[in-house]
């Protein structure tokens, strides 16, 4: 075969030779296209597999770990949830509205494929500085509108997330979407059991949109021609997705579904090969039966089209008619493509001619595995010895104002008011707090959900940065009244073929693994996004941790906002004056990014979580201290409630360290004045430093050494993002 052809499809010479060796012949064009998507980085995890295997994935409450559509966690006896995060970075840069919308659609189908009703979405978004160039506001507006348009229409609330701005994401925005589902009737698996069973494709028609969309875009770097790939981005149809959700759940309730999988990257190639490989069976499908959107599609296009809103199910022959009827009542196209075989092969025919006949395992499981060279990059020592931005500011008040107005800190209301965050009557704590708290319908249980990452910390030390991200996500969940239980992660990195990037990746995996082991929060799955580079410049290594916690009683939910005047404010945890490396203060006040990230003691972190749990009956509010330190945490608590506050942070620390250092394992909580002593006693028992620092009340954010009126601070905080975006959109 002509070398330029397989290279154009993204396969290397060695990979092509491996395919020929496995088949014992040259692949047909259709087969080659199938291998190219199934063996792509995006689908095969060929560069990450050896590292991912080292993460902790087991726990008593983990029913399904990595490798299926989503992790499954038992949050209470008989109550199982599906939890997964996925990236749609590359498509969202090329076409922000559709890229983000289909990112939502894709993760929702992953959850659905497990037999779970999707009930909550969270987004972790990263862009360049909002006013750095003309394209960034367009990207921000497009991505937020895409999420809003799709999520609102399918009726799944978007309950939280994060939005971060950093120059390294200007030409490589990150769009990571997490989804939670509740298993309604029974758990589904992507397995094609039972030769003779029928294979049904249902949902949208199959078109030329997204031929090699996600798999091609996400498996190479960007350059000046990337925007020409716009036609490779799929277009979403949320109306069909909503019908797909309802029809799928009805099919499952009716007991008709033997095996179930969504179609995402890789198109029809993916569920046919993966479901057969998992069950040790084969599958024979006729491409003549695929409902096409346009005439004249080539067999390879039909096999790898990434048209959205499609699912594949395996049903017993006697149930096929009923299954097709249910789809029809929901207005969905459904066709029987063929059947499960015992050959171990995926066979596809068109007009009676075999166009593909390959071992299912070769496509699904036997992709290349690379242990890519890894080396600490040369620039690393330079960054570590650069100033950490810990110097005292000229003016504390000015520093406070600058931090509250910094886009990364300021209110994201502009975005989350565009999302339906209330549907399903489960949102007890919505966007703008530490974690979202969601009551699970039909149960007495609630879960807390948080997505967190910190690219700056990971740049300065990928191992420590990853541990910090896990700790912060868990702390957010603990501050919401929940016990951290399980993690899903989205790993966003540059080009894995560069040893420096691979070193960052390996270090991050080691950090996540250690932190998840220490906090007893196993990793249940996730997604790797490599090649986040444009013109040779990589993003900061950015693992995003999706933490799930459980609240046995939804009434125990806590929010970050103060509840009333006259409450005591208690600081939990100690502040270290050295924790400025990678901080928001260092960036905003000194323009510095250097030194070491804050030091984390995971045992202290866990003691804080246990204290928050034990002290729950005393607490009126709780808020984790992260970007901007205690000062920003207290200000946010005031914005979330009806009152200002007065505190004295004192101690031996310099004022700016007490206010702005980003020492982990800290939280600010409020309680009745009369409960301060028992709370402090509890903290001593749990070995957590704690002190009363002041009280709520008044109309000022009064830190003693500096102050600002609540009204002015709120106005800075609320107007920053809209102001940065206005005029440019």
Partner 1 sequence: MNARVGIITFPGTNCEQDCERAFAALGGAPVRVWHGDTTLPDVDVVVLPGGFAHGDYLRTGALARFSPIMDAVRAHADAGGTVIGICNGFQVLCEAGMLPGALRKNAGLKFRCKWVELKVENASTRFTSRAGAGQILRIPINHFEGNYYCDEDTLETMRADGRVILRYVQNPNGSLDDIAGICNSSGTVFGLMPHPERACEALLGSIDGAVIFESILDNARVSA
Binding site for partner 1 (CB under 8 A): 148-149, 152-155, 237-240, 242-243, 330-331, 416-425, 427-428, 439, 441, 554-555
Specify whether 656 is catalytic: no
Contact 588, 403 (CB under 8 A): yes
CB of 130 to partner 1, least distance (A): 16
What Å distances lie between residue 367 and 2, 38, 284, CA to CA? 21, 8, 21
Instruction: Give the integer Cα–Cα distance in Å for 527 and 176.
Output: 9
* Distance set, CA 598 to CA 548, 577, 578, 663 (Å): 24, 10, 7, 6
What is the distance between the alpha carbons of residues 136 and 171, in angstroms, rounded to a whole number?
A: 8
Catalytic one among 51, 88, 90, 189?
88
Minimum Å distance from CB 162 to partner 1?
18
Strands, E assignment, 302-351: 310-315, 333-341, 345-350
Q: Which is nearer to partner 1, 305 or 427 (CB)?
A: 427
CB of 155 to partner 1, least distance (A): 3
DSSP 8-state class, residue 11? -
* Largest distance between two CA atoms of the chain: 82
- CA angle, corner 613, sides to 548 and 432, nearest 5? 50
Alpha carbon distance 584, 660 (integer Å) = 8
Residue whose CB is less far from partner 1, 361 or 420: 420
Instruction: State which residue, 417 or 711, has the beta carbon closest to partner 1.
Output: 417
Nearer to partner 1, 415 or 470 (CB): 415
Question: Which candidate, 443, 471, 417, 477, places its Cα nearest to that of 159?
Answer: 417
Look up 42 and say whether it is catalytic: yes
| CA gap 66, 121 in Å, rounded | 19
Pick the closer one to partner 1 by CB: 28 or 204.
204
Angle among Cα 7, 9, 14 to the nearest 5 degrees reads: 45
CB of 324 to partner 1, least distance (A): 17
CB of 414 to partner 1, least distance (A): 8
How many Cα neighbours within 13 Å face the side chain of 298? Answer: 11
3-state class (DSSP) for residue 125: strand
Query: Nearest approach, Cβ of 204 to partner 1 (angstroms)?
Result: 12
Rounded CA separation 14/370 (Å): 12
Helix (H, G, I), strand (E, B) or coil at 284: strand
Nearer to partner 1, 154 or 201 (CB): 154
SS3 annotation, 424-458: CCCEEECCCCCCEEEECCCCCCEEEEEEECCHHHH
Q: Considering the complex, what minimum distance in angstroms separates the CB of residue 152 from partner 1?
A: 6
CB of residue 156 vs partner 1: minimum separation in angstroms?
9
Nearer to partner 1, 309 or 452 (CB): 309
Of 117 and 467, the one with the shorter C-beta distance to partner 1 is 117
Among 42, 421, 656, 724, which one carries the catalytic annotation?
Answer: 42
Q: Where does 218-306 have alpha helices with state H? A: 238-253, 269-279, 299-304
Residue numbers annotated as active site: 42, 88
């Amino acid at each position: 075969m002509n070398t330029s052809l397989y290279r154009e499809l993204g396969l290397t010479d060695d990979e092509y030779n491996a395919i020929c060796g496995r088949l014992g012949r040259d692949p047909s064009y259709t087969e080659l296209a199938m291998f190219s998507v199934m063996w792509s980085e995006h689908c095969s995890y060929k560069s990450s597999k050896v590292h991912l295997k080292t993460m902790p994935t087991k726990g008593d409450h983990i029913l399904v770990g990595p490798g299926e559509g989503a992790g499954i966690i038992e949050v209470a006896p008989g109550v199982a949830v599906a939890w997964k995060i996925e990236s749609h970075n590359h498509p969202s840069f090329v076409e922000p509205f559709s890229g983000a919308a289909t990112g939502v659609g894709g993760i929702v189908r992953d959850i659905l494929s497990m037999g779970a009703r999707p009930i909550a979405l969270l987004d972790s978004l990263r862009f360049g500085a909002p006013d750095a160039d003309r394209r960034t506001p367009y990207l921000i507006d497009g991505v937020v509108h895409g999420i809003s348009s799709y999520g609102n229409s399918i009726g799944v609330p978007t309950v939280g997330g994060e939005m971060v701005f950093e120059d390294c994401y200007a030409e490589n925005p990150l769009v990571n979407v997490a989804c939670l589902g509740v298993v309604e009737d029974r758990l589904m698996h992507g397995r094609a059991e039972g030769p003779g069973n029928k294979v049904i494709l249902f949902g949208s028609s199959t078109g030329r949109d997204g031929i090699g969309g996600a798999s091609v875009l996400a498996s190479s770097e960007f350059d000046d021609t990337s925007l020409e790939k716009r036609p490779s981005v799929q277009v979403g149809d949320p109306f069909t997705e909503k019908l797909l959700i309802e029809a799928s759940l009805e099919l499952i309730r009716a007991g008709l579904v033997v095996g179930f999988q969504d179609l995402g990257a890789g198109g029809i190639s993916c569920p046919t090969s993966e479901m057969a490989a998992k069950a040790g069976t084969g599958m024979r499908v006729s491409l003549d039966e695929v409902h096409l959107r346009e005439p004249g599609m080539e067999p390879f296009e039909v096999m790898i089209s990434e048209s959205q809103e499609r699912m594949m199910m395996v049903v017993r022959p006697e149930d096929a008619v009923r299954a097709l009827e249910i789809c029809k009542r929901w207005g969905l196209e459904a066709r029987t493509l063929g059947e499960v075989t015992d050959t171990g092969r995926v066979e596809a025919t068109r007009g009676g001619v075999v166009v593909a006949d390959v071992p299912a395992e070769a496509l699904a499981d036997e992709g290349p595995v690379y242990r890519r060279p890894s080396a600490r990059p040369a620039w690393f020592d330079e960054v570590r010895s650069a100033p950490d931005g810990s110097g005292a500011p000229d003016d504390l008040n000015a520093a406070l104002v600058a931090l509250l107005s910094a886009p990364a800190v300021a209110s994201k209301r502009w975005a989350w008011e565009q999302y339906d965050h209330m549907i399903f009557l489960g949102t007890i704590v919505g966007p703008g707090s530490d974690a979202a708290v969601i009551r699970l319908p039909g149960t007495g249980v609630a879960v807390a959900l948080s997505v967190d990452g910190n690219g700056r910390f990971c740049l300065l030390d990928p191992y420590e940065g990853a541990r910090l991200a896990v700790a912060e996500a868990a702390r957010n969940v603990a501050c919401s009244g929940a016990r951290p239980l399980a993690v899903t992660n989205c790993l966003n990195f540059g080009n894995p073929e560069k040893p420096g990037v691979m070193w960052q990746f390996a270090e991050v995996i080691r950090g996540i693994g250690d932190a998840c082991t220490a906090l007893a929060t196993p990793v249940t799955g996730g997604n790797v996004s490599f090649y986040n580079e444009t013109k040779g410049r990589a993003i900061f290594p950015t693992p995003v941790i999706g933490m799930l916690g459980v609240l046995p009683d939804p009434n125990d939910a806590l929010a970050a906002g103060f509840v009333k005047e006259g409450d005591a404010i208690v600081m939990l945890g100690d502040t270290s004056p050295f924790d400025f490396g990678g901080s928001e203060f260092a960036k905003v006040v000194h323009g510095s990014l250097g030194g070491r990230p804050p030091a984390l003691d995971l045992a202290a972190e866990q003691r804080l979580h246990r204290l928050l749990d034990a002290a729950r009956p005393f607490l009126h509010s709780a808020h984790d201290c992260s970007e901007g330190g205690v000062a920003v945490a207290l200000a946010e608590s005031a914005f979330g409630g009806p009152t200002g506050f007065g505190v004295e942070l004192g101690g031996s620390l310099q004022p700016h360290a007490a206010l702005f250092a980003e020492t982990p394992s800290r939280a600010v909580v409020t309680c009745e004045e009369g409960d301060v002593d028992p709370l402090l006693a509890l903290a001593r028992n749990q070995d957590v430093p704690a002190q009363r620092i002041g009280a709520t009340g008044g109309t000022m954010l009064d830190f003693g050494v500096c102050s600002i009126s609540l009204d002015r601070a709120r106005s800075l905080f609320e107007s920053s993002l809209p102001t940065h975006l206005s005029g440019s959109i």
